[in-house]
A and B are shown apart, each in its own frame.
Chain A
């Protein structure tokens, strides 16, 4: 049975559960300084009530040891969760990622439209006097539109850095708590995978097309 006073154990009276000591008077009457220990994890000590009603301090049984191990694991889990800084991720970093990627999409769409408008305008220019000057002006408009790449590059670098941070924190978290993935996949992901498989939705491949146009042409020859 646990102690009635959780703040005190039967041995070393006055020693607090978290390892800190209450101020104790020295033999000469002056107060000693508080001895503080700041363990990273709380110290758990159990006391047992004997049949005679007296508190006893017995050596941990296997069950007590297991409970201590669980308590230690919970404490380390709490530390690992704190190090994940999940609130910072959900409040700041992940919204930032969404915003930056939205900006990239908008910037590339805007630049593409600008370039295409200018190209179409060049195609529509009448031949004759002033043609070359008009084309040159439009071409410089295209160069200007291409400056989007500098800004989008910086935005994507920010996103990559944020993803790297997230990756690092998750890796440390999973290692610290010895995380295991749940069996199976959630319904939404399962539906998505089934659709992708049945409709052969592989998406663009890394490093360019998986099958060259020449090889495809040979299939249709």
Chain B
């Protein structure tokens, strides 16, 4: 199944530079409808107000981390099936395992490249 390029994507990161980079990479892949939030709390507010086809989130943010956001999303009846990719500098195995247990669909460690992001989006949303 081909990717739905019209689906809205939510990028969650407290560094605007990273948001801009991911936004540009998504544009390169054909995704134009991209919103952003600077932490888990702001992201949750956006998720409650709009249906997103994918969440791409950093881990280390305040006041709510991406890990906490993931757990909130998976605990919410209306949000629990939202595809969720973690893009983070948290690279220890314990982080990856915890995220997987919490229900993350895929995990990218920073620094990353466009090809990696593309393959993970295709794996999560294209299948």
Contact = CB atoms under 8 A, between A and B. Distances in A.
Interface of A: 109, 112-113, 116, 119-120, 199-205, 209-213, 215-216, 219-220
A218 to B, nearest CB: 10
Given A220-B100, A220-B105, 13 more contacts: A116-B20, A119-B24, A199-B68, A200-B67, A201-B59, A201-B90, A202-B95, A203-B60, A210-B92, A211-B96, A211-B109, A219-B97, A220-B123
22 contacts: A112-B17, A116-B21, A119-B24, A120-B24, A200-B59, A200-B90, A200-B94, A202-B90, A202-B91, A203-B60, A203-B89, A203-B90, A204-B110, A205-B91, A209-B110, A211-B96, A212-B109, A213-B116, A215-B93, A216-B108, A220-B105, A220-B107
Nearest to B96: A216
Contact of B109 (A109, A203, A213): A213
A211 B91 contact: yes
B92 A219 contact: no
Interface in B48-101: 59-60, 65, 67-68, 89-98, 100
Nearest to B60: A201
Interface of B: 17, 20-21, 24, 59-60, 65, 67-68, 89-98, 100, 105-110, 112, 116, 123
